[in-house]
Structure 1
Amino acid sequence: MAHPRVLVLESQRFQRSVLVKMLDRLGLQEVRQASNAKQAMAQLHACGGVDVVLCDLADRSLDCLEFLRCARQAGLVQAVALCSELRPELRRALAQMRSLSGLQMLGVLSQPLQLRALRHLLHRSWRRRLPPVRLPVPRALPSEQEIHQGLALGEFRAWYQPKFMLGTGQLAGVEALVRWEHPTRGVLLPAQFLAAVLAYDLIDPMFKQLLEQGLNLLGMLRRQQIQLELAFNLHASQLLDDQLLLHIQQALLRHGFPGTTLLFELAENGLLDLSPRLQENLLRLRLLGCSLSIDDFGTGFSSLKLLCQLPFNQLKLDGAFVRHVDEPHSRAMVASTLALARSLDMSLVIEGIGTQRSHEGVLALGCEIGQGFYLARPMAGYRLLPWLEAHFASQRTQSDFS
């Protein structure tokens, strides 16, 4: 059986060299190393992905959770193993986790590292026969000039994925998702360009184009007497500048919509280090009437105190927890998150409903709102309009027979 391909992500040079030498002694031939997340992502793209990432979760300079989430979304990693000196309660909690940031969790190695423990931990990936990484031919991230050109030509487009009331099938809103409709490479997903957009500090121009597209679409729907809540994703760093919030307010005024029309989703991991400016601008969005959702909930380490302090009114449970909703651990996660949301007077949206089984499972647990490929796939704006007509016609037909 082939040995796993491994990436060592460690900021300390000595510790990184120790791990690499130990892996060499175990006979692993495909070992990559990186000292920071940006370098690690470049390594993954260059080699076409790895089976296992070894990293130090306790190293705050690395932001391992954000890196692992991005690597998982890009399909570049299958499993993660931690080499960290952690507090006993954190080690105990991590030992019970089957996944971390959507990746298979192999375990936690104690310091100082021992060759036998490393061999045993990696043996789990051999024994479980991790599925091969399925990737397109690796491509370099787009250049700054390419992204500027794409923005100038309007190639970044909002695609829309509906959310539903699970019990009735009624529409609960629509989320705007960015796609790059590239003239030669076809439709690109965020995993293929978003890291570059952030690196070149072009996330705000891209968001402003998507917001304008979304509000124009809502204007067309308003003329047909259709009202929808439209959700957009925001990176936490975007709210460190007051100018973006001012732009949102002016766009709503220009199109004649109240703030209640919009919902903004921020990834949980981006909320771990809160600045006063970020907290103030979150509050300003809520005062404007906009809803706020914590996206990918369950993949970071948000505390109950943090949830109580921030003006969010929705949790969005990461889809990793519903893929195996018939298993006790997953059911417990869904049920406890639902109880938490209700206790904080928040709504809960279940992401990643990809099968009939997961749909029935979360519905049986009492979940009310869901989103996923089983319910409806993302679609371009010109496809959303006829889809909505068909959906509302179907709802009226069902109502007539009920």
Structure 2
Amino acid sequence: MASPRVLVLENQGFARSVLVKMLQRLGVHDVVQATDGEHAMVQMHLYGGVDIVLCDLTDRGLDCLEFLRRASQSGMVRAVVLCSELQPELHRALGHMQSLAGLQLLGILRRPIQLRSVHRLLHRYSRARAVPVPNMLRRELPTEEEVRRGLALGEFRAWFQPQVELRTGAAVGVEALARWQHPARGVLLPSEFLAAVLAYDLIDQMFKHLLEQGLSLMGILRRQGVNLTLAFNLHASQLANGELIEHIKRALERHAFKGSTLMFEFAENGLLDSAPGIHENLLRLRLLGCGLSVDDFGVGFSSLKLLCQLPFNQIKLDGRFVQRLDRQRNRAMVTCTQGLAQSLDMRLVIEGVSSPRIREGLLELGCETGQGFHLARPMNGHDLLQWLKTLESAR
């Protein structure tokens, strides 16, 4: 039987190299390495999936459970091995679980990791019983030539999801979301192309296309007397140098907008252990007048000290905390985040407002701004203009 393909997800270089060497000694030479969940998803797309993921459930630089959930949904992983020092009660609970995040849980490696323990868990893995990972995934990943052609022909389009006042329904901003209007496959979501864009290092080029489209639309709205905030998702690594900041500054000047028109959202995990140069470029964005938002707040491992030190002025609470507001822990998460935002003089936006019940529950808790399918779905620029016109007519 061929040895499995293993992904080692570990952000500490020394620990990662130790695991890789152990696997190689055991005859596993098909080893993929990644430093964080985003990098891991790109690597798995490029390799057409893996058999086993080795990761640390307690690593504060990684949101392991969230990554495993995404990997499981993508069908690119079969099983998981945890390399974690866990509290006794957690070790007992996991020891009785046969699966984690929809993946076969082979076991837990205690630190310091022993070679025989790795061998035992690899031996436990039975490829015959696992559902095959389709190698089609590698072929389905768009080629670099295809992505570059799509960018050159303007096939990557900005769609917009409004952010609204929960009480009045008035729009206060829109988030720009990437869509690929593929000539053969129709409108593609980021899950179908973002890994390729990242792998080919074309993420900045795509962003520049979306920024231009977004500012052009804001220009149309300005002539109609409508002023909204335009939000974009960025990864902290995109601020490793100042080139993108200069491009944003020139784009604002070209369209005659103040920096306050733009809001940039960063996933909280991407901010951990970021280089000082990235912190300086975050400051440069704020000095331009642009807003900075911590996206998907609550699902990673934000350092409150870091949150206080960096110049953010908005928190976006992840939508999973509002799906069951009848649960005390979810209500507590909402109210605690409210208190944190108020104490830091930051605006709070609640994601995942997908039903009237959730909206009413958030209003009861004193929340003001939300985003979600119940309030408005993502739409292209033309549909957004019509939606805003209908909204204004109904007021």
TM range (shorter): 0.7 to 0.9
TM-score (norm 1): 0.75
Cα distance between partner residues in 1 of 2:223 and 2:71: 37
**Deviation beyond 6 Å, 4+ runs, structure 1:** 17-21, 44-50, 77-82, 104-109, 112-115
Any unmatched runs of 5+ in structure 2?
Answer: 10-15, 95-99, 126-130
8 A Cα contact 2:45 2:195, kept in partner: no
Secondary structure of the 1:279 match is helix
Residue 280 of structure 1 is matched in structure 2 by: 280
Secondary structure of the 1:353 match is coil
User: How many angstroms does 1:355 deviate by?
Assistant: 2.2
Residue 84 of structure 1 is matched in structure 2 by: 83
Residue 366 (str. 1) matches residue 376 (str. 2): no
CA RMSD in angstroms comes to 4.0
User: Counterparts of 1:233-244 in structure 2 under 5 Å?
Assistant: 233-244=233-244
Summarize deviations over 1:102-145 as a string: whole Å, max 9, x none.
Answer: 95899977456989xx9xxx9xxxxxxxxx9xx9x856221111
Residue 201 (str. 1) matches residue 201 (str. 2): yes
8 A Cα contact 2:55 2:81, kept in partner: yes
Distance 1:43 1:69, change over 3 A: closer
Secondary structure of the 2:145 match is helix
Residue 183 of structure 1 is matched in structure 2 by: 183
User: How many angstroms does 1:53 deviate by?
Assistant: 5.8
Cα distance between partner residues in 1 of 2:221 and 2:313: 25
Cα distance between partner residues in 2 of 1:39 and 1:271: 17
Cα distance between partner residues in 1 of 2:50 and 2:358: 28
Secondary structure of the 2:63 match is helix
Cα distance between partner residues in 1 of 2:266 and 2:361: 26
Residue 72 of structure 1 is matched in structure 2 by: 70
The number of residue pairs the alignment matches comes to 356
Cα distance between partner residues in 1 of 2:150 and 2:68: 22
User: How many angstroms does 1:325 deviate by?
Assistant: 2.5
The amino acid across from 1:314 in the alignment is Q
Q: Point out the more displaced range, 241-250 or 11-20.
A: 11-20
Residue 171 of structure 2 is matched in structure 1 by: 171
Any unmatched runs of 5+ in structure 1?
Answer: 1-5, 22-31, 97-101, 123-131, 397-402
8 A Cα contact 1:8 1:19, kept in partner: no
The amino acid across from 2:84 in the alignment is E
The amino acid across from 1:291 in the alignment is G
8 A Cα contact 1:260 1:291, kept in partner: yes
Secondary structure of the 2:73 match is coil
Cα distance between partner residues in 2 of 1:268 and 1:316: 10
The amino acid across from 2:184 in the alignment is T
User: How many angstroms does 1:392 deviate by?
Assistant: 1.3
Secondary structure of the 1:345 match is coil
Residue 159 of structure 1 is matched in structure 2 by: 159
Secondary structure of the 2:140 match is coil
Distance 1:75 1:361, change over 3 A: farther
The amino acid across from 2:289 in the alignment is G
Residue 328 of structure 2 is matched in structure 1 by: 328
Distance 1:383 1:74, change over 3 A: farther
8 A Cα contact 2:267 2:296, kept in partner: yes
Cα distance between partner residues in 1 of 2:286 and 2:253: 16
Cα distance between partner residues in 1 of 2:360 and 2:109: 38
Secondary structure of the 2:257 match is coil
8 A Cα contact 1:158 1:213, kept in partner: yes
Cα distance between partner residues in 1 of 2:240 and 2:230: 22
The amino acid across from 2:34 in the alignment is N
Residue 148 of structure 1 is matched in structure 2 by: 148
Residue 128 of structure 2 is matched in structure 1 by: none
Residue 305 of structure 1 is matched in structure 2 by: 305
8 A Cα contact 2:41 2:71, kept in partner: no
8 A Cα contact 1:57 1:82, kept in partner: no
Cα distance between partner residues in 2 of 1:390 and 1:212: 25
Residue 256 of structure 2 is matched in structure 1 by: 256
Cα distance between partner residues in 1 of 2:304 and 2:316: 15
Percent identity over paired residues? 53
Distance 1:210 1:330, change over 3 A: same
8 A Cα contact 1:48 1:76, kept in partner: no
User: Counterparts of 1:327-366 in structure 2 under 5 Å?
Assistant: 327-366=327-366
